[in-house]
Each structure stands twice: as C-alpha cells, then as structure tokens.
Amino acid sequence: MSRTDATPTSLTDPAADPAAPTPGRARLEHLDGVRALAALYVLLHHIWITIWPAYPVNDGPVWVGWLLYGHLSVSVFIVVSGFSLAIAPARSGWRLRGGVRTFVRRRAWRILPTYWAALAFSCLVFGVVTADLTGDKVSLKAVVVHGLLLQDVVNSPKPNGAFWSIAVEWQIYFLFPLMLWVRRRFGTRGLVSLATVVVVGAYLGATTVEPLHRLLNLTPQFALLFAFGVAAATVLQSRVTPARRRGLSRVAVVGAGALVVGIGVLGSARVDEQYFWVDLAAGAVTAVALAALACGGLPRLCAVLGSRPLRSVGLFSYSVYCVHLPILWLVWHLWLASLRVSPMAHFLLLTGLGVPVALVGSWVFSLAFEKPFLTHRSFRDWQALLSRRTTRP
C-alpha cells in the first residue's frame, strides 16, 4: 500500500501511554475514548479505501465520503500524544522525571516491542499469506528500514502502510525534552510561536527549494501538532476559572464546526493537496478541545469519551493501529474479495465482519505483545518475573 493508502496512524499516539493517574488528580479517562474513536476511524477509512480505491476522490456513495479523511486521525493521535506525555511535566515545573535518557528508554519500551511484533505479523501476512493474491512482496530492506523506524526517510516496500506515522512520532519524541525546555524558559506562547516559525519555515523551504523537498517526508507539521498538545497541558497547572473553561469550550465547538465546513467547501482532492495546513487547523482544534475537557468543559462529550466501551478500546488502541490492516487484508482476500456482489455490499460485509474481527484480533495481539510491556516496564521487571516462575516448586 502507498503512503496515501494508509493515511491514518499514530496513530500511532497513536503510542502514548494511557493517561496515568497523578497523586491528588483524577485520571483523564476521556483520553482513552479519544484514542478509541481515532483508531476506529482509521479502521473504517481503510475499509472504505479497500472498496473504493480512487483516493483522494470518493468514487463511492456520497454518504461514505466522510471516511476519506483518515489522515486527520493521525493529527488527533499526535496532539493527544503530546498532551498525554506533558501531563506529568506540567505538574512538576515542566521537567522530565528521571531525565532525557529515562524518557527515551520508557518510550522505546512502550512502543518498540509491540511495533516489532506487528511488523513481523505484517510481513507474514503481506509477504507470505496474501503475496500470491496481491503480488505484494516484502524485502529484507523493508524489514530493516521499518525495524529501525526509518520508513519516512528511506524508501522501501511497505509491509504495513499504517506504519509511516509511528516512525514520525518516534522521531518527534527526541524533540520533546527541547519543547519542555522552551516551555520552561519562554512559556506556552513562546513554545507555540517558536514551533510555528520553525515548522512553517521548514515547510515553505521544502516546497520551494528542490534539495529540501524530502523534508516533506518527515511530515513536519506533526512536530507542531505535538507542541500544540504540550501547550494544551498548561491547563493542568492550576485551577481554571469558569469563564476560561466556557471560553475554551466555545472555541473548540466553533473551531470544529468551521473545520468541518472548510473541509466540505474545499473537497477531498484539495484537502489532500493542502494537508499541511488542514493538519494544523485540525491539531489546533484538537488541542483546544483537550484543554477544555481537561478542565471540566464539554461535559457531555467528556461523558461519551469516558464511557466504558470507548475506554476499553482505547486501552489497546495502539495494537488496533498496528495490526488492523493485515487483519482486514486477511478478511478481505481470504473471504470476501471473490464474492460477486456490488461495491456497497462488499463495504457492508467488510464493515460488518472486518471491524469485529479486527478489534478482537487486535485485543488478542495486545494481550500478547502490548499489555506485558505495560505491566513489566523494564528488563529488570522481566528478569524478576522469569526468576519467580523458574523458582516455583
């Protein structure tokens, strides 16, 4: 699949930890709901693009046109990731607990084992199981490039089209300590202003200077979206007045409405051409909405996002993001593609069968390859676990 075919991911936040409880503070459970909705939208987007592959044009019914914009789920994931990772620093003077090395080690432990397992599964599905049906091949270069999270820098066959944004987010993690330093020294406005100047400048340079064009492969706007998420966590530092809470809520609602109208006016083809700016708009709206939700605004939306079904899916949304594509691929090519029915019937069948199978499969995958690394957070924890098991009578 091409990068365009797999526009959504980060999500995979797509790989941020579920919002951890902080002493004296309630868990921000709605964040899991946001991740769940973003992951489900990614899943539906890929079902749509499987049936009607004329992206960025919708060659299906008008009423499925809203599924074209899977890329925006990545924007949401990135903002949520920045916000989630900034929760603890925002409450401790914008400093990383344990320092930069500890932060990088924890991030690597959180996302890499699950990602590598998903990479192996994807190579098995795309490169072995369905290779004769699709003609897709997985090379050693692809495995090495994706294993090192360099797929946005080095071109290679793609064993899983959703993986591109995981590489982007991994690279953004190395900017996070710098963002916290800027926030400490220059405040929220300073962070957002500096990030905006750097990112927009890089984009304009890459679009006008040929040698810099490859910078666009890094999706530079995501660094700014991550900074938006960090900035939104400022509301966690102190009590927010009712007036400010109402103001944030109104801006979020109006901004979301304007974004939807703007996308409708532009149309999918122009949105695809202008995703840099559309991402920035969507990221800004998401950041304001997260700030509003965190300080008690938008209570009805918060209740929906914090509901048990969405929170349950949100807890393994990273696995959903990582393996939903190969699972859908199996369902489609082994069971449905050969059926002589209309595209709409195919869409309904793939949705009705593919969504539950993908969710259950992702949940099982998470039990094996994600949850163990959340429960045991270091090699020392694993050594202790293995030691206890081997010494049992």
The DSSP secondary structure of 361-378, one letter per residue, reads HHHHHHHHHTHHHHHS-S
d(CA 278, CA 345): 32
Q: What is the pLDDT of residue 281?
A: 98
| Residue 5 buriedness (CB in 10 A; 0-12 / 13-18 / 19+) | middle
Strand positions, DSSP E, the chain = none
Closest CA to 284 of 309, 254, 244: 254
Distances from the Cα of 291 to the Cα of 150, 260, 300, angstroms: 32, 20, 15
Q: Which amino acid is at 342?
A: S
Instruction: Report whether 297 contacts 232 (CB < 8 A).
Output: no
| Residue 61 buriedness (CB in 10 A; 0-12 / 13-18 / 19+) | exposed
Sign (positive or negative) of CA dihedral 328, 333, 334, 340: positive
The answer to pTM > 0.75 is yes
Q: What is the pLDDT of residue 27?
A: 57
Residue numbers of the chain with a pLDDT score lower than 70: 1-27, 134-135, 383, 385-387, 389-393
Q: What is the pLDDT of residue 362?
A: 99
Q: What is the pLDDT of residue 385?
A: 66
* Model pLDDT for residues 114-134, shown as the tens digit of each residue: 999 999 999 999 888 887 776
d(CA 260, CA 258): 5
Burial per residue of 212-250, b for 16 or more beta-carbon CB atoms within 10 angstroms, e otherwise = eeeeebbbbbbbbbbbbbbbbbbbbeeebeeeebeebbe
Q: What is the pLDDT of residue 11?
A: 42
Sign (positive or negative) of CA dihedral 192, 100, 118, 37: negative
Q: What is the pLDDT of residue 325?
A: 96
Which tokens is 154 given? 């080095």
Q: What is the pLDDT of residue 393?
A: 58
Please name the residue that has the structure tokens 């690597």: 108
Backbone angle region of 378, left / alpha / beta, with phi > 0 → left and psi within -120 to 50 → alpha: beta
Which tokens is 59 given? 């060659």
Helices 176-208 and 71-90 pack at an angle, to 10 degrees, of 150
Helices 221-232 and 164-173 pack at an angle, to 10 degrees, of 60
| Residue 75 buriedness (CB in 10 A; 0-12 / 13-18 / 19+) | buried
Please tell me whether the peptide bond between 14 and the residue prior to it is cis, using omega within 30 degrees of 0: no
d(CA 359, CA 315): 12
Q: What is the pLDDT of residue 380?
A: 78
Element containing residue 140 per DSSP (H, E): helix 140-147
Q: What is the pLDDT of residue 391?
A: 65
Q: What is the pLDDT of residue 19?
A: 40
